Structure formats: structure tokens, C-alpha cells
Amino acid sequence: MKEVPDMNEILESHARIRPYIHNTPVLTSTFLDNLADGKIFLKCENFQKAGAFKSRGACNTVFLMTDEEACRGVATHSSGNHAAALARAASLRGIPCHVVMPSNSAAVKIEATRFYGGLVTFCEPVLAARESTLEEVISQTGAIEVHSYNDPRIIAGQATAALELVTNFPDLDIVMAPVGGGGLLSGTALSVKYFSPDTRVFGAEPAQADDAFRSFQSRTFIRSEKPDTIADGLRTSLGSITFRIIVDEVDGILTVTEESIIQAMLIIWERMKIIIEPSSAVPVAALLTYPELFRKKRTGIIISGGNVDLRDLPWK
């Protein structure tokens, strides 16, 4: 697969993973429409297998492997959703999955990873420790690394969520997704470019973890340092591949406060009666923060996941 997946590779990825994922529903809300003074369409990956969009990229990658590669097993470092998704994909193929997780990972995500058969090793919650611990695990097991976002197979898989969205709603003015490492946003941007070229693409990011915003503005890669956000899935830095796609194909990145993330999360829980995690609430928070951008527009939002520790809610 090319470093930047093309149209056919995204279509082939969608066909490859179809038996293993949900074609998730798109929900609407009159309350949200009135709040935004536009039409809002939520692509609900919180209803995806393993609870997040990550199942798309993980399944695509695992089922692209040759038998010789797959028999070695897979390995990754992840704070949660990619860990569970890769463990599930590996179990579907009958191969081992080794996961390095930061010690401060959400309990619900640790439990999900183990439920799907992931073999978990904990490390200190800093990138250097994650990477060095993963190197040790790979050297001991011979497993193949599957990066959580900086991999064209992962990006092509994540792109299938936006492919489904714009196929079913071909007249959207804007599509928006949260951005952490950039796998979802870069995949979303590619699908929109190929399949709905008149639609604009925005990323949404916590202001307290705004490396993607600063990288986008400066057109220079800036690594995330000491991110401090409730949106735990968005604390990672962009990768070399995702950075280039986002700079080339995304129209803008919007930053939001912690308070607006919690407010947006609560609105979706209360008004739509669905569970979304803080990272999913970030683009909804952008609707509240930048109303002029979305007024009178038809906007699709990728709701990235719904894996929340119900024992530790931000409004308790």
C-alpha cells in the first residue's frame, strides 16, 4: 500500500473489513441542529466493534498481513482504543497481540484490551517509555509492530468511516473529526477528497493538547509535550505520514477548551441518550465554540468512540 492511500485502496479496505465491523448509524438531533443553526449528522463510531473507529484500521492491517507475518503476532503501544481494537482483530485471525499501555490508561480500556485477548505490559505514561517498552516486547516475542496511526494500512481503514458518511450523505458542506495522532483525520480528509471533493474538512483538538493545530499553522511538525486534557485519546503527537496528509488536505484545525469538551459531552449524553467519550466530544465542542463557521451548513461529525469509565465521569 502506498504511504498515502489512494481511492482504490480505501475502497478495497472497506470491502476487506466489512465482515468484521459495523457500518455505524448516522444520528441527528433537532436540539443540536437548533444549537448550531444548521444540520448536524453524527457518524456514530461509538457503536463500532470494540467501541471506537480504531477497529477499522486494526482489522484492515491484520487482514492485510501474509500468513508468514501474522503467525508472529502483532504488538503496539496504546492508551486504549487502538489496544482493544488490535487485540480484537488479532483474535479474529487467531494470532497473539502484545500491548504496551501507560500506567494511567483508563480502567475500562485496559479491561477491554484484556477481554479481547491482549497481553498487556504497563509502562510510565510518557512517549519515550512507551516506545522503549514496546521495543523490548518486540525483541522478546518477534511480533510485528502495528502503529496506532502512522501506518497507511491504518489510515486506509480509518478512512472508511468518512467513506460511509459521504456515500450516504453526499451533499455535506463540512466533515469534522477529532485529531490526536491524526489517523482518523487524515483518513477522513482523504475520503472526502476522493468521494466528496466539494466538502471542507476540519479537525478539532483540545487547546491543552494543541500540537496538531500548531503544526498545521506553522507547516512544521511540532511534537506534543505534556498534553493535559480530559480527551485521553488525543494526547498523542502527529506522525510523519498523518502530518503530511493533514497539512495537504485539511482546511483547518479548531481548538476548544476543557470546559467546552465536558459541556459538549454532557449535551450528547443528555439530549441524544448515547454514550460518547471525551475525545468524541471535541468536534461537538467546536460547534459550540465557532458557531459562525457552521451556521446554515450541513455538517458531518465523526463520533470517534464511546469507551468511558462510568465510575469516573467529568461532571460527578
Secondary structure (DSSP) of 146-159? --SSSSHHHHHHHH
Q: List the strands of the sheet with 252-256, edge to edge.
A: 26-27, 39-44, 298-303, 174-178, 200-206, 252-256
Does any domain span residue 219?
yes
Does any domain span residue 312?
no
Does any domain span residue 179?
yes
Does any domain span residue 29?
yes
Examine the domain organization and report whether 176 and 295 are in the same domain.
yes
Q: Which of 123, 233, 122 is nearest to 185 (CA)?
A: 233
CATH code of the domain covering residue 60: 3.40.50.1100
Q: pLDDT band at 79, cuts 50/70/90?
A: confident
Task: Give pLDDT, residue 105.
Answer: 84
Task: Give pLDDT, residue 101.
Answer: 93
Does any domain span residue 212?
yes
Q: How far apart are CA 303 and CA 284, in angstroms?
A: 9
pLDDT digits (tens, 9 = 90+) for 83-140: 999 999 999 999 999 999 989 888 888 999 999 999 999 999 877 898 999 999 999 9
Does any domain span residue 171?
yes
- Number of domains comprising the chain: 2
- 199-229 core/surface letters (b: 16 or more CB in 10 A; e: else): bbbbbbbbebbbbbbebbeeeebbebeebeb
Task: Inform me whether the pLDDT recorded for 266 exceeds 90.
Answer: yes
Examine the domain organization and report whether 185 and 299 are in the same domain.
yes
Q: Domain range holding 264?
A: 7-51+159-303
Task: Give pLDDT, residue 70.
Answer: 96
Q: How far apart are CA 125 and CA 129, in angstroms?
A: 7
Average pLDDT across the chain, whole number: 95
Q: Which of 278, 262, 221 is nearest to 245 (CA)?
A: 221
Does any domain span residue 223?
yes
Q: Where are the beta strands (DSSP E) in the chain?
A: 26-27, 39-44, 74-77, 97-102, 119-123, 144-145, 174-178, 200-206, 252-256, 298-303
Examine the domain organization and report whether 24 and 168 are in the same domain.
yes
- Highest mean pLDDT: which range of 117-131, 237-251, 302-316: 237-251
Task: Inform me whether the pLDDT recorded for 226 exceeds 90.
Answer: no
Examine the domain organization and report whether 35 and 75 are in the same domain.
no
Task: Inform me whether the pLDDT recorded for 48 exceeds 80.
Answer: yes
Examine the domain organization and report whether 242 and 265 are in the same domain.
yes
Examine the domain organization and report whether 217 and 265 are in the same domain.
yes
Examine the domain organization and report whether 127 and 192 are in the same domain.
no
Does any domain span residue 83?
yes
Q: Using CB atoms within 10 A of its CB, is residue 26 exposed (0-12), middle (13-18) or buried (19+)? A: middle
pLDDT digits (tens, 9 = 90+) for 166-223: 999 999 999 999 999 999 999 999 999 999 999 999 999 999 999 999 999 999 999 8
List, in order, residues 6 or more apart from 142 with CB less than 8 Å away: 72, 73
Task: Give pLDDT, residue 316.
Answer: 66
123, 145, 167: which is the final residue of a domain? 145
Examine the domain organization and report whether 190 and 87 are in the same domain.
no
Q: pLDDT band at 292, cuts 50/70/90?
A: very high
Q: 482546511: which residue's cell?
A: 251
